Amino acid sequence: MFLGLVSACRIGESLFPTTVEGQKLTRTGAMHYLFAILTFGFTYAAISDLTPDLVKLYPWHSHRGALDWLSGAILVGLILVLGALLPRLRHVFGLPERFFLGVTYIWLVVVAWLLAVKAH
């Protein structure tokens, strides 16, 4: 369900362009931010929900630490992204956003690799 919500929110992000940095926040830009925040939240929810089930599969037991660590790092990234929404920290928003996206993509690559290995 969360993966479907991620997809729906990504579509919402694309329908509402972001406000250009330095300009006054527009209604369209606010909608973009809302969909982006929901996307990040649903992404974390999907990963935190899937990780315990995935580590139960053979031969994933040896990779449990990596998936759990990445899931925790994604939560930290989400918290940092939300914190960077504060006006005083807005100028560094790109750093936590890239961290969140980076560890999310690493989690996805590890899971894809483990699924491919399991299929053989």
Structure confidence at residue 69 as a pLDDT band (50, 70, 90): very high
pTM: 0.85
- CB under 8 Å to 29, separation ≥6 — which residues? 16, 17, 18, 19
Q: What's the rounded Cα separation, in Å, for the pair 10 and 4?
A: 10
Q: Which of 35, 42, 105, 50 is nearest to 73 (CA)?
A: 105
- CB under 8 Å to 23, separation ≥6 — which residues? none
Q: What is the pLDDT of residue 59?
A: 65
Give the three-class secondary structure for 58. Answer: coil
Tally of domains within the chain: 1
Total Cβ atoms within 10 A of residue 35 = 20
Q: Which of 33, 20, 45 is nearest to 82 (CA)?
A: 33
Residue type, 112: A
Percent residues over pLDDT 70 in the chain: 95
For Cα atoms 31, 38, 84, give the angle at the middle one, nearest 5 degrees.
Answer: 85
What average pLDDT score do residues 51-71 get? Answer: 81
In tens, the pLDDT along 20-31 reads 877 888 899 999
Residue 100's domain comprises 2-119
Mean pLDDT, the chain, rounded, equals: 90
